[in-house]
Structure 1
Amino acid sequence: MALYSEKQISQLFELDKKHYLHPTTPIKQHQVNGPKFIFTEGKGVYLTDVYGDKYLDALASLWNVNIGHGRKEIAEAAYQQMSKLAYSSSFSNLSHDMVIKLSEKLSTLTPGDLNVFFYTSGGSESNDTAFKLVRHYWKLKGEPQKRKIIALDRAYHGITVGATSATGIPQFHDMAASLAPDFLHAAAHQTNCEQGDTTDPNYERSIRGLIESEGAETVAAVILEPIQGAGGIIISPDGYLEAVRRLCDEYGILLIADEVICGFGRTGKMFGVDNWEVVPDIMTLAKGITSGYIQLGAVAISERLRDELAIVSNDMLFHGFTYSGHPTACAVALKNIEIIENEKIVQHAKDMEAELFKGMCYLETKHDIVTKSRAKGLLGAFELYADKENRLPFEPAAMAAQKLVEECFKRKLIIRSITYNGTNIIAMSPPLIITKEEIETIISILSESISAVEKQLHNKIL
């Protein structure tokens, strides 16, 4: 049932076009067509729009609504905290009970000695904070020349200036016009190279190759996602993270794990690195820390780094955000983590991985254009190829992935296409509470939608 009249809905669309500049949206397209959907309600794995239509949210909105939509426990936690202490600054050595409780709780979840936390409002701020901290660390250690950050091709680390500079997707660089200095990009997932195989043709562009060519004395840190999200759901091959960890130790370089998407159960483990039992020096967090119910990010650093920073300097840490350690956000994060633990959501995500992967494999057997299915927890993807046997991609003009997304929208399913550099990747990251039956619904809609796209493409060829 629609919550708005036709006239009110029309007004909402016009006001959106007039006043709202949408993120990652073609501005001209928005001015012509207005928003694709206007949602008013969420419950479980479903979103409801202004017309009263329900859509299955197979993206958890933006990889982040891990516990599902409409959890009243979260609203109650926010209400209780706002009624008591909605906001209090953490500047100038002030504190409050909720940030202390959240920090202690996180320390029981993070791997190794990553037991110290700095808070932000989101993932981009978390990554920028990590870059500043590592450069500050090396400066205080008497090595100010260690400024360079090595990231990976196809990495996504955010949209602030530093985070954009670390991002390895060219389209984000094109928009920025000018990037921050001292950011380098290595070819991703070159395990042999990182283990020292100098005969590999990709050696020069590997992390190890870049360290050797730039000089380890100039490199502050390596940052990577355990699973590349916006780059196409690219899962690190077994042995890769371990090789990079050893490489960083060998050259005295800090390792940053970007867990913004992978964290808090998304991959079937609490954190992505837990799948490979690797402990970074720094982890950046956001999204699943509150399941998107309120803005919050964090940077976890090792006790060793914190202690070294304290030993070498008595100066103030000239870094902080107005909303660092926001009390209400901390209360929401604590309730979110409580739900994740009490409902055994991390294990459920691991269990549902098998169902999601089985469904995508079924699509491969039924449809000639579907291939390269992959999943880790409830982070999954498959690809569309014109000829999957010979790995012949679709021409960009075919817009195969975009067509599939539109067909799914028609059938009330929300998925995402990733089309950088000619790829046709379909990504999914549903809320971690999703059931076997709901995954089957996703696969059924996908199959019907793929058939429609195959027919469109076949008719176009004819």
Structure 2
Amino acid sequence: MSNEALRQELVELDKKHFIHPTSSLQEQQEKGPSIIFDRAEGVHVYDINGKKYLEGMASLWNVNIGYGRKELAEVAKEQLEKCAYVNSFSGFSNEPAIRLAAKIAEITPGDLNAVFFTSGGSESNDSAYKLVRHYWKAKGKPEKTKIVARKRAYHGVASGSTSATGIEPFHDFTTSLAPGFVHVDPDDPEAFRKLIEEEGADTIAAFLTEPVQGAGGVNFPKEGYLQEIRKICDEHDILFIADEVINGFGRTGKMFASEHFGIVPDVLLLAKGISSGYIQLGAVVIREKLHKDLIEHSPGVLMHGFTYSGHATACAVGLKNIEILENENMVENSRVMGDLLGEKLKELQKETDIVGEVRHLGLLGAVEIVKDQETGERFAEKLTPKIVAEARERGLILRNVVYWEKDTIVYSPPLCMTEEDVNEFASILKEAILEVQKSL
């Protein structure tokens, strides 16, 4: 069968049977899948016809070590053959889960020492909400139930994590959001203070934030914001949850983004880069005091757990993934290549007429498209969908954010980027922007 015949067969099967996440059902039926991927290596992916793309998003912000690492396949095979899976309920355990929990405790900030495993970011978020509410109940404060999250935040698509997300289209999709979630201004810590006055600190379980907001547009906190929020939480006996599902495992040029801001959250949420997307895995990490308090004040069964919590094969892959990150100095490479890419993208402000602010931390960044570079005025029509489409045609995969007033290109390539990859990325994006600019 020729590649084209195979592609056509797969397109028809896809249209008939595969409901795609976060995709247009109608567009899928009209056009079929936009790309059918076949293989991948390093920072590049290839479609079924052999076309090569630089994966400027590391798929979904998560393939941190890059594609095609046989070490992960080998460790997975070894564990699958030895003991693929045993459950972790009722005190059962396995060596990969134990060792990965210990490794996470070693590399996370401060005294974040105890780990609950999940299969992904949404599960990590929902688990954290339940755990902090249970914590306060165990401490004799069952009225502390509210989760305060920031507007523009993305925390997942399970029932609780959708409700915590501060992006309206995710709310509009469903008719029933979970109660107990409140959203505040994402930049002003005084808005949080005011909310505490209105709601009462005795009703608030936790403040939830991504240190750097990802899917909402790669938004960085204003200087001192997170430190002030940490202070407010301490003053009012409110737990601080850092969602580092996107930020973690070297993405920002440090192992965890919280380190950039000198804060230690009470609860740290992980997924994505924990396994670089090679297998489903996530985690909730809590500080030593919370762990000890739960042991002391909650002596019964912890009535929360997933079938695949502490999955032996997933944890073995996670361990090997972290080993590669450390041994190949990929966190530092993220910082160095991130700075280089950021400099090259800032040059586009001079080389084009429509590039506004360029911001980044490590290999996590955004490029704003504007009508006026001086004032930041936007075009009436969003241009980033066209730019992203042009870049894809030229072999660079990116995403755009057009919520609110934004017209933003976001990027998060694998952390194994080289200078050659950076040059390829910047060159293609420049071509795509200039092509769209010509049509204005």
Q: Quote the residue 1:424 is aligned against.
A: 407
Deviations 1:55-81 (A, max 9, x none): 010100000000000000110010011
Q: C-alpha separation between the residues in 2 aligned to 1:442 and 1:4?
A: 31
Q: C-alpha separation between the residues in 2 aligned to 1:390 and 1:276?
A: 29
Deviation for aligned residue 1:283: 0.2
SS in structure 2 opposite 1:434? coil
Written as runs of structure 1 = structure 2, the 5 A alignment for 1:151-300 is 151-190=149-188, 194=189, 203=190, 206-300=191-285
Q: Which runs of 4+ in 1 moved over 2 A?
A: none
Q: Does the alignment pair 1:32 with 2:17? A: no
Deviation for aligned residue 1:209: 1.3
Q: C-alpha separation between the residues in 1 aligned to 2:49 and 2:12?
A: 16
**Is the contact between residue 417 and residue 425 of structure 1 (CA under 8 Å) also seen in structure 2?**
yes
Identity of aligned residues (%): 52
Unaligned runs of 5+ in 2: none
Q: C-alpha separation between the residues in 1 aligned to 2:376 and 2:55?
A: 30
Deviation for aligned residue 1:390: 2.1
Q: Quote the residue 1:71 is aligned against.
A: 69
Q: C-alpha separation between the residues in 2 aligned to 1:366 and 1:7?
A: 42
Written as runs of structure 1 = structure 2, the 5 A alignment for 1:308-327 is 308-327=293-312
Q: TM-score, normalised by structure 1?
A: 0.94
Q: Does the alignment pair 1:112 with 2:110? A: yes
**Is the contact between residue 149 and residue 207 of structure 2 (CA under 8 Å) also seen in structure 1?**
yes
Among residues 347, 351, 354, which one is paired with 2:332 in the alignment?
A: 347
Q: Does the alignment pair 1:451 with 2:399? A: no
**Is the contact between residue 4 and residue 51 of structure 1 (CA under 8 Å) also seen in structure 2?**
no
- One-letter code aligned to 1:48: Y
- One-letter code aligned to 2:395: K
Q: Quote the residue 1:394 is aligned against.
A: 379
SS in structure 1 opposite 2:240? strand
- One-letter code aligned to 1:369: I
Deviation for aligned residue 1:408: 0.4
**Is the contact between residue 156 and residue 162 of structure 2 (CA under 8 Å) also seen in structure 1?**
yes
Q: C-alpha separation between the residues in 2 aligned to 1:73 and 1:237?
A: 40
Pairs aligned (count): 440
Q: C-alpha separation between the residues in 2 aligned to 1:410 and 1:300?
A: 41
- One-letter code aligned to 1:249: D
SS in structure 1 opposite 2:54? strand
SS in structure 2 opposite 1:227? coil
Q: Quote the residue 1:440 is aligned against.
A: 423
Q: Quote the residue 2:79 is aligned against.
A: 81
Deviation for aligned residue 1:422: 3.1
Deviations 1:1-20 (A, max 9, x none): xx953211100011111110
- One-letter code aligned to 2:228: A
- One-letter code aligned to 1:108: E
SS in structure 2 opposite 1:314? coil
Q: C-alpha separation between the residues in 2 aligned to 1:426 and 1:394?
A: 14
Among residues 328, 333, 342, which one is paired with 1:357 in the alignment?
A: 342
Q: C-alpha separation between the residues in 2 aligned to 1:53 and 1:383?
A: 28
Deviation for aligned residue 1:176: 1.7
Q: Quote the residue 2:55 is aligned against.
A: 57
Deviations 1:312-367 (A, max 9, x none): 12210000000000000000000000000000100111111211110111111111
SS in structure 2 opposite 1:115? strand
Deviations 1:356-407 (A, max 9, x none): 1101111111111101100001001111011222221111xx2300000110
Q: C-alpha separation between the residues in 2 aligned to 1:37 and 1:135?
A: 42
Among residues 351, 361, 364, which one is paired with 1:376 in the alignment?
A: 361
Among residues 378, 392, 396, which one is paired with 1:409 in the alignment?
A: 392
Deviations 1:168-224 (A, max 9, x none): 00000000221000100000121xxx3xxxxxxxx4xx1111111110010000000
CA RMSD of aligned residues (A): 0.9
Q: C-alpha separation between the residues in 2 aligned to 1:74 and 1:330?
A: 11
Q: Quote the residue 1:367 is aligned against.
A: 352
Q: C-alpha separation between the residues in 2 aligned to 1:24 and 1:114?
A: 33
Q: C-alpha separation between the residues in 1 aligned to 2:263 and 2:223?
A: 11
In structure 2, do the counterparts of structure 1 residues 108 and 17 end up closer, same or farther at CA, with 3 Å as the change threshold? same
Q: Quote the residue 1:199 is aligned against.
A: none
**Is the contact between residue 356 and residue 380 of structure 1 (CA under 8 Å) also seen in structure 2?**
no
**Is the contact between residue 356 and residue 376 of structure 2 (CA under 8 Å) also seen in structure 1?**
no
SS in structure 2 opposite 1:284? strand
SS in structure 2 opposite 1:176? coil
**Is the contact between residue 4 and residue 50 of structure 1 (CA under 8 Å) also seen in structure 2?**
no
SS in structure 2 opposite 1:322? coil
- One-letter code aligned to 1:228: Q
